[in-house]
Structure 1
Amino acid sequence: MSESVTTTSQARAADVNTQGAARSVYEFMTSVKEVKKRSGQPEAFVADKLQASVEHALRSAGIKEKDLGRYLGRITGQVASRLQRTFDGHSTPTTQDIRDIVTSTIIDNNLVHVARAYLMFKSVPVNAATEKYGTGLTFNRYFTKDGVAPFDMLEWELRSAKITNEKGKIVFEQDGIETPKTWSQTAVNVVAQKYFRGKVGTPEREHSMKQLIGRVSKTMADWGRKDGYFASANDAQIFEDELTWILINQMAAFNSPVWFNVGVNPHPQCSACFINSVQDDMRSILHLCTTESMLFKQGSGTGTNLSNLRSSQEYLGGSNGKSSGPVSFMKGLDAFAGIVKSGGKTRRAAKMVILNADHPDIVQFMECKVKEERKAWTLVEAGYDSSMDGEAYGSVFFQNANNSVRVTDEFMRAVE
């Protein structure tokens, strides 16, 4: 018996060693060994340099010494894993590819202020050597004055922002917000709660409208400087000043994804609405779930026509079972929209679902929200919380989308 146990243990140990060796070979074969510089020339990829730059960003952002090792190990491990999955040893990343992966990984760990520090440390500053002028746009000053900063043309004061729910409970509060005197309290509340970056109560939290509008207008102007959009450096400065003045005086405003992402992410998602498509197969449906969720994460909304999906009365190929139908899949899509906070904030995602008037499930589609609303009323009458995020409406489907019926010209003429 003893000899048998020993033999079995040795076999297991040998198997573990074999698996470990195989894993080491796999990691070596799929690891990143080279990186392309800006010049296009390859150079050896040195993991220690990457780790050192992340550590520098963590320290610059004020991460405490006791937390440094934990964050450093987590971030570098995730970066290594993402690089391995993305480039799998068969393609060579550029320095920009690595920079983007590191930045997105840091942001995914809710360390936006560290991501900023990393970008400042790794980025090439906009200067005379990187600016392109000569064939771009020219601008004249309309609202601003040469040599006077747009922010200096306004009177400023400090205020507090506070938002309560329908029961009077405080759901957001921030003190010491620097704002123009002309701004309403509602504007201060909404902007501070929705668009300021960083965790409330921490040094990295934005606390001034100058910070918010400055990061957007300067980032956009810097893009133009680097990509040759302006005829001269003076035109670039006029553009930045005029845009800043327009925004700080509330004469115009960008959509939410711009405020969420510009000046924060290296490649920000700036569009508010995306139209998606879906095909009548499970892979495409699940891909739509992923696409919509990632768009919601960055603060954008989506719209999808589900008419390509077969109806709930049609059979599945090769079986006697029937399809779930578009309304059934809408439940899952609606749930993701309710779960994923738009732009990482407290609001829910914006979503539109469309079905053609001639789809066999059109009546079911038109009635689905009404039926769910009746369920919610029953729960409210039973004493459940009726607020937007309460138990009553949180227990029923189709609360996160606008349903629209798509009709043809022939349909409308028939109605006439």
Structure 2
Amino acid sequence: MVVEKVMKRDGRIVPFDESRIRWAIQRAMWEVGVRDDELLDRIVKDVINRINELYDGEVPHIENIQDIVELELMRNGLFEVAKAYILYRKKKAEIREEKRKILNKEKLDEIDKRFSINALRVLTSRYLIRNEEGKVIESPKELFERVATLAAIPDLLYDERVFSKEGGYTQDLKKVEYYLQNFEEFAGVYSIGRFRLNKYHFERMISLYKELAEKGKMKVSIDEFLGMLEHGEFEKYEEVVEEYFNLMVNQVFMPNTPALINSGRPLGMLSACFVVPIEDDMESIMKAAHDVAIIQKMGGGTGINFSKLRPEGDLVGTTTGAASGPVSFMHLIDAVSDVIKQGGVRRGANMGILEVWHPDIEKFIHAKEQNVGTNVLSNFNISVGLWRDFWEALKEGKKYPLINPRTGKKVKEIDPKSLFEELAYMAWAKADPGVVFFDVINKRNVLEPAKGEKIRATNPCGEEPLYDYESCNLASINLAKFVKYDDEGKPYFDWDEYAKVIMKVAKYLDNAIDVNKFPLPEIDYYTKLTRRIGVGMMGLADALFKLGIPYNSKEGYDFMRKATEYLTFYAYRYSVEAAKQRGPFPLYKLSKYPEGELPIEGYYHKEIWNLPWDDLVEEIKEYGVRNAMVTTCPPTGSVSMIADTSSGIEPIFALVYKKSVTVGEFYYVDPVFEAELKKRGLYTDELLQRISDNYGSVQGLEEIPEDMQRIFVTAMDIHWLDHLLAQASIQLWLTDSASKTINMPNDATVEDVKAAYLLAHALGCKGVTVYRDGSLSVQVYSVEGEKKKRAPVKPSEYAKRILKEIVESESWLKKFVNVEAIIDGTNGKGMPTFSLSNHKGTLNPTKSGVDERKIKELLGIAYCPVCYEHGGEVVELRMESGCATCPKCGWSKCVIS
């Protein structure tokens, strides 16, 4: 009889899967350079026949099957393949043992096995619940169940038997208050199918019932609703929980960090970032400090525009003294963030913005000038807010007025060119400030008539322009999971499946708003007025690797545009359907949506459409839309590590790099790159060493075929102009913005930074963060010995063409952008620039004689605080998606990732 079942190591009986045997044998054959499909077919057939012969329909153990594979390989004389297979088994056994240690478990379940060691380390260090002794008491499976269960709760309350979109119902809320006061008594009492509601799930469910009942939208009393739940009348929603659960454990999407940590737990806050207002009076300033403290105590980040504060030296009427200015109050907020410490693991994350017209703009630009190992404003990213009038003054060479926000009167005029050069110089020297283009942000702002003002702030990483007291609720879809292979083994992207998942993730985020426990009542109110969601992407670099498309190519940018167009179109598709059933966001009628406007630039360029946008807009005009904004691209730091994929929309930082663990050192290799090396018979430890010593890049290595060098590019293999094109390609179809770093080599010039800012604005980016390698002044290098010079990087042919087209169409840019010099790599070379000569003694903790105080001072700035505090290891942070991120444990300065 044919064997149909197999026993796994944890005792589960599962269907026998021949493809798993084929894949394991194929891997072993590839390891020794054997590529013979006929031979593979024959060996697999022999193995299957032997299994059926020995077990005759009984259930073999997985170890017995693997023993048979070894014997059949040797019986066929494939001793080298058998050796590779034995080593493969040994490695898998070692991995299982390491996973057991990480999770402190005797047996791994089916979910534990799906995640890499790296992913499990990240989950254990930051996400899984611990008891008072610090011991992990939750498994990954339980984590994703509590997240998925919470996300399905709104479906019960929007069920047509319970919910009325039109309203008009009155319910007695006394019993509701009883349940809210005694929610701890209801842990595990109710369930959605097999998924039990813990006490925090129950509390969020009752809170949502109360909110909807107060609006007259609940058809049934709270006890009737709970009775329906108890009698299984909502059993169909078990499928919703299962769906979210499976999407997460299969690493197809991940919510942002706060949602993974806080779903079904006491804090209950699922949002990452918020914008806090600050007015020009002491009460407002102290209220802002209070709000920041409350938000960051709960693990959130804040964005603040300080432009309403009067300039330094201005009159203070109550005391007839002099004002201290916006920068001084930034130090106040910075001190608050320092004190909070966010659990001792993550520094407070703030975005401080000052608009270019403010009299203190020069002080602001230089606010972090002394940030050479002194942690000046270490809890702040800072950005200058630019408006169209500044660009016009720069273009026409006219003086630019600085305005006192208290009086509205001109204080003085400045040379915009000089200010622009100062701004570029500080970004070049210190990686701060960045720039936010408020004219671009507000160009398609459909909420301006509803809000009565323009957007003037962003979250800490800059990808979410927000009004006061709004929040961003984010999740990211793993693009690499949609690369499939046809019968001939050729890769393709499954656009249909991608579209389905986008709609599911949009629904997850919409539901999250309803069960979110916001840190302040103002945030609860203003967030629900617009119901912003941010469906995002990660795994872009890995997807392109699998598809064989270079990141820095026309094909790469075309893919980015299409992927983002789908992202926004199908997020809107969900949002329209939700508006039909649940109602549009409250400010919909006051917005520009009823006029057929959309907050995306791509919509206004019909020649590039891939999807029927006109039909969608007609539906929005007829039914409304549930969410005012639907897409963004946040940093994904540790979230992408959990998903075992590349970070956000960034190219990969290094294909190979050395990692230190308690038992020694090993090489971390990008999984897609590793598979390709093995497929081609190129994988050796010696080659990994060479790639690691080459900054994790394969460029210029003769052992690596030319086509692989073209496809497998890293962040520093890509010219800064191509980084800009990637951001602009994605921005074209986002409702909000994208968090991306424009990486520049150490020898980039101030002229390069100026050109990057001008071109980013011309390309339609909403802001830009430039990071010149080494500009933190305290950088550890991953290769032994002195820092060796990287090979110069040139723009792609496509980027050269776009550069020429932009400068030809905007002729005034020729005064600032030297096209030929950018192309040949001489832009600004030979011009006098700032020197770091007085800081030649760059810290390198891999050498002896490390100044321990300096390292501690720079934790969270240049080095990972978690790796240092938990194991004494000094790990250099990397700049990804505008965020300092640890490549080992996933710690990030950004609260989202």
- TM-score between the two structures when normalised by the length of structure 2: 0.24
Higher RCO by CA contacts (8 Å cutoff, separation 6 or greater): 2
- TM-score between the two structures when normalised by the length of structure 1: 0.50
